[in-house]
Structure 1
Amino acid sequence: MYLQMNKSMKSILLGAFLMLSFITCQKEEITIGTEVSETFYVENEGASMRVLVEGNTASKTILLFVHGGPGTGSFFYNTQYISDNIEDKYAVAYWDQRNAGASQGNSNGEHLNLLTMTEDLKKVIQVLKHRYGNDTKVFLLAHSFGGILTTSFLTLENNQDLVDGWIVCSASHNYPLNDRLSKEALLFYANREIARGNYVNNWTEIKNFCLSLPEEILSLSQANQLNTYCTDAEDYFSEVVPFSLMDILKENAVDQDYPITSIFFNHGYSQNAEINNELRKYNFSDALRKVTIPVLTLYGEYDFVCPPALGESILMNVSSTETSSFLLPNSGHNGMFQDEYLFCEKVNEFINRHR
């Protein structure tokens, strides 16, 4: 009886093993169509990074969002307006960087650095091409911190051969220059607005702080306070369309199943990580000469976090022969929300021209 049961158990286990092998060896279903929505994870150095692909994968063209932060996540860019005005033409990949958004894994403090994140970006692009075809055109769209990350990627080895264009939306490539330009922009408008009698107390406080800053590279605490004043300054202009990240959370969190706990935990960890001190020194202005792919810059006219002069610096330093720029008249630091019509129009024109 014991021998008989042992054989039976072996048969059951063998059958289960064969079934599991069959299931795991099957190729993952990948959708090619005009209204795709699928999520997968890319793993590298202890991180499992969420990628949501939506829109028209049949176009063989993917716009890859490289979000700000570190630690913010890509959920917030996935608006209904972008779905209606970009995803109908091309596919959009919303990638959550390590320790951001819905990405998983341990805290990986030792791997939360620009070099590893540059490797992450390369792997994400390679996976996108593997899934949707090596002939798929990939365009990078960098926002805020995404500018440093994409610049690091594009100026390393032959990485830019993997992509077909670089869209820079209110993003930075040189943090010391960024701090200086933010300070200069705030001082210019502070003097103008004080003379006009607009928000005099607010602008006087900003002016005094900027005048107290050293000429050398700012400390993290100084840079953080400068960034706070840059964000606040948007509210002092009637031309700027109001923007609130919390409003986006309230509007979309339920419908889009935001993993709120994960988003806030990742953001909190990344905001306090050593990478923020490391980033203070990065200056890719000279390295930009290596960039030869088409470039589009989009900056908000009232962006003090990443002033429009950063975009001018990018275009002055790249070796690309096909460059274009556009100033978003009603935007601060978040042009994809504040000037959404112009943002989508310029992005679509650029992709259509170069894909």
Structure 2
Amino acid sequence: MKNLTILIAIPVLMLLAACQKESFYQGDHFFVKNAGAEMPVFVKGNIASGTFILFLHGGPGGNASLPSFMPVSQELEKDFAFAYWDQRGSGLSGGNPDPATFTVEQFVEDLDLVVDVIRQRFNNPRIVIYGISWGGALGSAYLSTADYQQKIDGFICMNSGHNLEDGLPKSVVFVKNYAQQQIDLGVDVAYWTEARDWCAKEPDMTVVDNYFKYDSYLSNTNAYRRNPDQEVQGPEVGARGTMNSYLSLAIFFNGRYLAKRFNILELNLSKDMERIKIHSLVIWGRHDGVNTIEMGYDAYSSIGGPDFTEKELVILENSAHEGYMEEQELFINTFKRFVKGL
């Protein structure tokens, strides 16, 4: 009898979970398959607007699935449709792509397929590419390739890693300075002395082992959030909500596999970005320690070249790398103004 009770209880729990999931499945969902990868795209928001924001997540190895549940995303979805694409080897992507396909050129090809599917599936809507961090770099690479930019109506480039050749050494200096501040405050002096001295050696940041050593220090700074103790609104699903949505534990593991096999440490797209001649908005956190403010100025000056005028730079004065969470109201207002003005 006890076993029978358990057997009955399991379907009931599954049914309840299925009922709870309904609110998480609003919108459209499809996969783009290419070169061994099966990449999900979730389309949510105001599809009737005819304006689609194609979100390019960071990393490499982040995901677009979790950000789709952020309050800031849901606010913007009232005005625009958002297409959340998990890139190859990232997020909820599947298949079995060969690590040899982890190249900028392959990611650009994947992105172009996503763009074409959106255009065909939704009757040629306006498309705005919105890339954060690595996503900004991918957007820059895409718009600099062939005539792809003719398919796109606008570009929002936020805290991008478009030029790691110049940018990573600047971030190393950020870590060194942060370490010295902690030492002066008497905080974990042994650890931060080790970090400061390592950074002071000006390590070659094109070496993968050096990158992961630096990244271990960076993760303990305020490079991502100017005030790490600031309460911000994150994804609404939380840990429990993951069980009641399309999310899965894959978002925690796929990216780690990709990051170890996708070397972009010598990436420098600054010169290529002069080819971009579409309306562009560059948004940067003043206190970003990942891609420092100098790289924000570089992104702005690079897009379209020095004489191109259809671009704008907005600096979030109280933010680091995650200004979309740290200064949500300003970010949302800036985002809406730009897109509606296209």
Structure 1 counterpart of 2:39: 49
Is it true that 1:334 corresponds to 2:322 in the alignment? yes
Structure 2 counterpart of 1:68: 58
Deviation of residue 148 (structure 1)?
Answer: 2.3
Equivalent positions of 1:52-201 (< 5 A) are 52-134=42-124, 136-190=125-179, 197=185, 199=187, 201=189
Letter in 2 for 1:61: T
Is it true that 1:225 corresponds to 2:210 in the alignment? no
Paired residues of 2:91 and 2:251 also in contact (CA < 8 A): yes
Deviation of residue 200 (structure 1)?
Answer: 7.1
SS in 2 for 1:351: helix
1:347/1:237 CA distance change after superposition, 3 Å = closer
Is it true that 1:38 corresponds to 2:28 in the alignment? yes
Moved more, 246-255 or 325-334: 246-255
**Which of 203, 206, 212 is the matching residue for 2:201?**
212
Is it true that 1:294 corresponds to 2:283 in the alignment? no
Letter in 2 for 1:158: D
Structure 2 counterpart of 1:9: none
Deviation of residue 73 (structure 1)?
Answer: 1.3
**Aligned counterparts of 1:61 and 1:142: Cα–Cα separation in 2:** 16
TM-score (norm 2): 0.83
TM-score (norm 1): 0.80
Is it true that 1:316 corresponds to 2:301 in the alignment? yes
**Aligned counterparts of 1:192 and 1:175: Cα–Cα separation in 2:** 25
Paired residues of 1:239 and 1:330 also in contact (CA < 8 A): no
**Aligned counterparts of 1:68 and 1:317: Cα–Cα separation in 2:** 20
Structure 1 counterpart of 2:255: 267
1:117/1:264 CA distance change after superposition, 3 Å = same
Gapped runs of 5+ residues in structure 2?
A: 1-24
Paired residues of 2:70 and 2:236 also in contact (CA < 8 A): no
Letter in 1 for 2:86: D
Paired residues of 2:226 and 2:318 also in contact (CA < 8 A): no
Letter in 1 for 2:254: N
Moved more, 287-296 or 251-260: 251-260
Letter in 2 for 1:286: K
SS in 2 for 1:97: coil
**Aligned counterparts of 1:70 and 1:239: Cα–Cα separation in 2:** 23
Deviation of residue 36 (structure 1)?
Answer: 5.5
Identity across matched positions, percent:
27
Paired residues of 1:70 and 1:270 also in contact (CA < 8 A): yes
Paired residues of 2:222 and 2:228 also in contact (CA < 8 A): no
Gapped runs of 5+ residues in structure 1?
A: 1-34
Structure 2 counterpart of 1:307: 292
1:154/1:198 CA distance change after superposition, 3 Å = farther
Deviation of residue 77 (structure 1)?
Answer: 1.2
**Aligned counterparts of 1:286 and 1:240: Cα–Cα separation in 2:** 38
Of the two, which has the highest radius of gyration?
1
Deviation of residue 199 (structure 1)?
Answer: 3.9
**Which of 334, 337, 341 is the matching residue for 1:349?**
337
1:121/1:222 CA distance change after superposition, 3 Å = same
Instruction: State the aligned residue count.
Output: 313
Equivalent positions of 1:18-29 (< 5 A) are none
**Aligned counterparts of 1:239 and 1:105: Cα–Cα separation in 2:** 36
**Aligned counterparts of 1:325 and 1:188: Cα–Cα separation in 2:** 26
